[in-house]
Amino acid sequence: MNLTCNVVMDLLPLYAENMTSDDTRLLVEKHLAGCPDCRRELAAMQAPQPVPADTVTAPLQRLRSKLFWSKVEAVVLTAALILAFAITGIAYLTAPEYLPYSDTLLTFHECVDGTLFVSFGEEVVGYDTHSYSATNGEGYVYHITAWTNQWSRFSPAKNTQSLLLKPQQNEALSVYYYLDGVEDTLIFGKDLYAGGGVITLPRLVLGYYVVIAAVLAVGLGLLLFGFRKHEKIRNVVEKIVLLPVSYLLGHLCIKGFRSSSYSALRDFCAILLVMLPLYCAMLLALHLYRRHQLRKQLAS
């Protein structure tokens, strides 16, 4: 019995898997001996076939991306909080601690041309001074203060501070030392305020900024409450209201509940340095909270 190629082609899959009877196998092998086309087809069937790779990797890639960005968000949030705490710690360690006046705190050397050379003691880390012409026209007035800080206690090397005072037009020179809450003390020259009662007050500008930030926070909070059902407006207002809130937190970290300062510029810069990482941390925390709320809604 001779088999046609079509019949053999139908039997080849069974033959290749050794699933035919002995009689059928003999007939197929007899045909294969004289048919190169069928032999090629059998060889193709018996050749090892490459296993196709799974090309549907989009879900896995999305999962990897989510895990990666979750790690990035956690690292950024942690870094922002650590930075805010670090700046707060540095600000605390370098905060001025104003020194009471003593004979060893300052020494004076008057030059021939009327200028005055002031040398500070080793305990002095920094000083501040402001000057003006006396209202009675009798001379030129300087007000000086000096401070140390916590950081200097851990630093063995200290540079001696010095100051050169030069009155205008060879006027008489009066130097006062001021301390918070204490009447200014004459330390050199003529007492132009012999009547008493001169006190150098700290600046209150930081208090104005606190009031402005508090008003903005309350106003934006009310606006946020009013537009709580409008998603787009709410999202924008949420990001804006965090600015005054972060400033208030920065002020609390640097100044506590006080707003007066003899070093207003230094304190303001420190507040801004703390404010920035706090703002970034709160933005990221808000983003994570919104995403958590969305997942809860989808799960329910």
Q: What is the pLDDT of residue 49?
A: 67
Q: Please, which pLDDT band fits residue 87 given cuts at 50, 70 and 90?
A: very high
Model confidence, pTM: 0.70
pLDDT digits 0-9 by tens, 136-146: 666 788 899 99
Task: Output the six-digit token pair for 160.
Answer: 């001696």
- Mean pLDDT, the chain, rounded, equals 84
DSSP states along 87-154: HHHHHHHTS-EEPPP-TTTEEEEE-TTS-EEEEE-TT--EEEEEEEE-TTSS-EEEEEEEEE-TGGGG
pLDDT digits (tens, 9 = 90+) for 167-220: 766 566 788 999 988 888 888 888 877 666 688 888 899 999 999 999 999 999
The structure tokens listed for 292 are 């958590």
Give the pLDDT score at 1.
60
Domain ranges of the chain: 5-46, 59-93+204-299, 98-189
Token pair, residue 61, equals: 């890639």
Residue 83 neighbours by CB under 8 Å, 6+ apart: 277
